[in-house]
Chain A
């Protein structure tokens, strides 16, 4: 697999998040491996990846909740590991699992959180309470998962943060609540040009709200760019094999492949002009064509390739 270059033409002051050589290990498992990432200010960045790809580890490092084993994480010009109060006041964070005080009522949560943010907008908070239909007198322990996610979003948005970080916020929500939740994010982001980092394994959610998409697999960033650019770069070659023959080799950049009877599917990243010719030159191939892929298919193929790629390449 090969990584598409970051939008590295931007100078450092334009970076809202700058991650350089970030590595994090838990025991013998490497959660994130030498990751480089730059998210420009004002960008809505969607971080895609299967479970265990290292998304949450990366986000927790950006939030300063874990320290990198190697590398640096800079957020809005500050070192994230220093956990500065001023930096936290500029970030709105919605975690995947909410641990808000269960004994508090919603209005108590708001009253508790409000003094921590000098930029807290009472009017905006009231509007959000109404729009998100939050029952202010209900205790947190009585809230459904969707309501809890909305409360998390309300806390994250009410202080008008420079940056919004959402770690799989729609995970476990039913489609209706998910829709409402995404609309709230879109509505809030319309008004201000803030940087948003949104992680998910729902491709359609990310595709809907993100300007730039990053795809993490196995602790590495394997794709990074606008959705259209990713679709242009990654293609699938569908080849027909001669009866009883197997292909001898794969083109450079093969992310995933599958041989099923006479059908040979190869997903290539990045797709170059030579790839199709390479496949066609294989003596086992009768015919081949390039097929565009949806973002979801790209995500699935790259994930499968990372999981089973070696094994499948060996069998072929």
Chain B
């Protein structure tokens, strides 16, 4: 039963998932091309493996930024796509329970975001391990923290889109609110920083914002699940 639901959700969100995969791949390609042919990187006169390491490292951050858009599309459509064409009514009278439907949807939407994050982290780790071959200081490539912080922003986008999608009947609001959620969180954190006069360094500030984003993302996901399970009837 779950298999059928997962396959259906994959098929339903196929185009957005494809956009995500294309954006992710093109991020790495773009980063590698830039590193290969742009003079500042060329000046290092580094061996090809080092350039690949730099390309992969830059690519993982870029991939997270670009694929965040696809994550908003996937999560923003996960509930609303079926509400917009009213096929949710069809699913409503079939035997699968709300929990099974929710499990399938979370597997596809959150699973996609987690895969994006895992790919970015793995490529960053790969890049970091390749630095031993590079003729550049290792510190320059150690962007794991940056990738982790950006991953939290992507999780925020996913969580907020998911939550709004569980309530909404169309996909516009979930996608837009999801995409703007890191900016909203940033403004909120900066506002709090200003009022409580926290000592500010760029790194600490970004960490605070990304942690807040992670919290908002997880809370959004939980809220979306709660709403979907308790909203008993498709109207």
Contact = CB atoms under 8 A, between A and B. Distances in A.
B87 A99 contact: yes
B96 A102 contact: no
A114 B94 CA distance: 11
B4 interface: yes
Interface residues of A, number: 23
Nearest to A86: B95
A88 B4 contact: no
Contacts, number: 54
A116 B94 contact: yes
Interface in B1-40: 1, 3-4, 7-8, 11-12
Given A115-B1, A116-B1, A101 B93 contact: no
A40 to B, nearest CB: 24
Contact of A99 (B1, B12, B90, B232): B90
Nearest to B8: A112
Nearest to A64: B93
Interface string B72-106: 00000000000001111110111111000000000
Contact of A65 (B1, B87, B93, B95): B93
Interface of A: 63, 65-67, 83, 85, 88-89, 93, 95, 98-103, 111-117
Contacts of A117: 95
A63 B93 contact: yes
A115 B95 CA distance: 10
A102 B82 CA distance: 11
Given A63-B93, A100-B87, 14 more contacts: A65-B93, A65-B233, A83-B97, A85-B95, A85-B97, A88-B93, A99-B88, A100-B90, A101-B8, A101-B85, A101-B90, A103-B11, A112-B7, A116-B1
A264 to B, nearest CB: 47
B84 to A, nearest CB: 11
25 contacts: A65-B92, A65-B93, A66-B233, A67-B233, A83-B232, A85-B96, A88-B95, A93-B93, A98-B90, A99-B85, A99-B86, A99-B88, A99-B90, A100-B87, A100-B90, A101-B8, A101-B12, A102-B85, A103-B11, A103-B12, A112-B7, A113-B4, A114-B4, A116-B4, A116-B96
For the complex, would chain A's binding face be called helix, strand, loop or mixed by DSSP majority? loop
A104 to B, nearest CB: 8
Interface of B: 1, 3-4, 7-8, 11-12, 85-90, 92-97, 232-234
B12 to A, nearest CB: 8
Contacts of B86: 99
Given A112-B4, A113-B94, A115-B4, A102 B87 contact: yes
Given A116-B1, A116-B96, A117-B95, A67 B87 contact: no
B165 to A, nearest CB: 18
B93 to A, nearest CB: 5
Contacts of B12: 101, 103
A101 B88 CA distance: 9
A95 B7 CA distance: 25
Contacts of A66: 233
Nearest to B82: A101
Given A100-B90, A116-B1, A67 B232 contact: yes
Contacts of A100: 87, 90
A211 to B, nearest CB: 25
A95 B93 contact: yes
Nearest to B85: A102
Nearest to B90: A99
Nearest to B4: A115
A63 B7 CA distance: 26
Contacts of B85: 99, 101-102
A83 B231 CA distance: 13
B235 to A, nearest CB: 9
